[in-house]
Amino acid sequence: MDRKAVLSMIEATKVVAIVRRVPAESAYDIASALVEGGIQALEFTAETPGICRIIEDVRRRLPESVAVGAGTVLDGETARMMLLSGADFVVTPTVDRATIEVCVRYGKPVMPGAMTPTEILTAYEYGADLVKVFPAGVLGAGYFRSLRGPLPHIPLMATGGISAHNAQEYLQAGVAALGVGGSLVSAQAVEAKDYQAMEKEARQLMQAALG
């Protein structure tokens, strides 16, 4: 999926699902359950064992209309490895210029993590497509509403502590997208291979996000 298509899809669906440290043999089934629930953008975190194989396999088996990305990318070398494995986008926890530049060079969306107005503006000036603001649950929706005053032109993705229960609160505060992990893919559901529960959580989240 090309850069423009990924960004348009995230803008339309409002949600990026974060899948962290799941067993490689369960990754596709988890992804499939989330897609069945309406999720169209999936972020597998880079510290997951076998991450390159996971991205290659999930990207190959899911429809092209679904974006498969890599998260928790700490440096340019890892970003390049993720993109060569087939990642459609990259998400980082911090503002690392080299990582952003690699993604720009390869023509793929990049969503660096930031918290302060200075970090957010720096990430955007380096070439970020969206800026991931973390931890959203600690900062609160009011923080995002305040950011929209001086930085209305920078699209933000609220991440951390987001669920179906508060999704609309953050969207109404002006964020462009939501990064959602633990409430979608719980450790208990992963261990039990309860894909039906994941699909249900995804459906509830999408209903909340899209109204």
Q: How confident is the model at residue 90 (pLDDT cuts 50, 70, 90)?
A: very high
Decide: 95 and 123 in contact? Cβ < 8 Å. yes
CB-count burial class (<10 Å; 0-12, 13-18, 19+) for 104: middle
Q: Is the pLDDT reported for residue 104 higher than 90?
A: yes
| DSSP bridge pairs for 44 | 19, 70
> 80 falls in which pLDDT band (50, 70, 90)?
very high
pLDDT of residue 110: 98
In this structure, what are the phi and psi dihedrals at residue 145, rounded to the nearest 5 degrees?
-65, -40
- Confidence at residue 211, expressed as pLDDT on a 0 to 100 scale: 80
Q: Whole-angstrom Cα distance, residue 6 to residue 64? A: 10
> Considering its fold, how many domains does the chain have in total?
1
Taking only the tens place, the pLDDT of each residue in 189-209 is 999 999 999 999 999 999 999
In this prediction, residues 144-159 reach a mean pLDDT of 97
Residue 95 belongs to what domain range?
Answer: 3-210
Query: Percentage of residues in the chain with pLDDT exceeding 70?
Result: 100
What does each C-alpha distance from 181 to 45, 105, 140, 151, 205 come to in angstroms? 10, 28, 17, 26, 11
CATH of the domain at 40: 3.20.20.70
User: How many Å apart are CA 143 and CA 33, to the nearest integer?
Assistant: 32
Residue pLDDT, tens place only, 54-72: 999 999 999 999 999 999 9
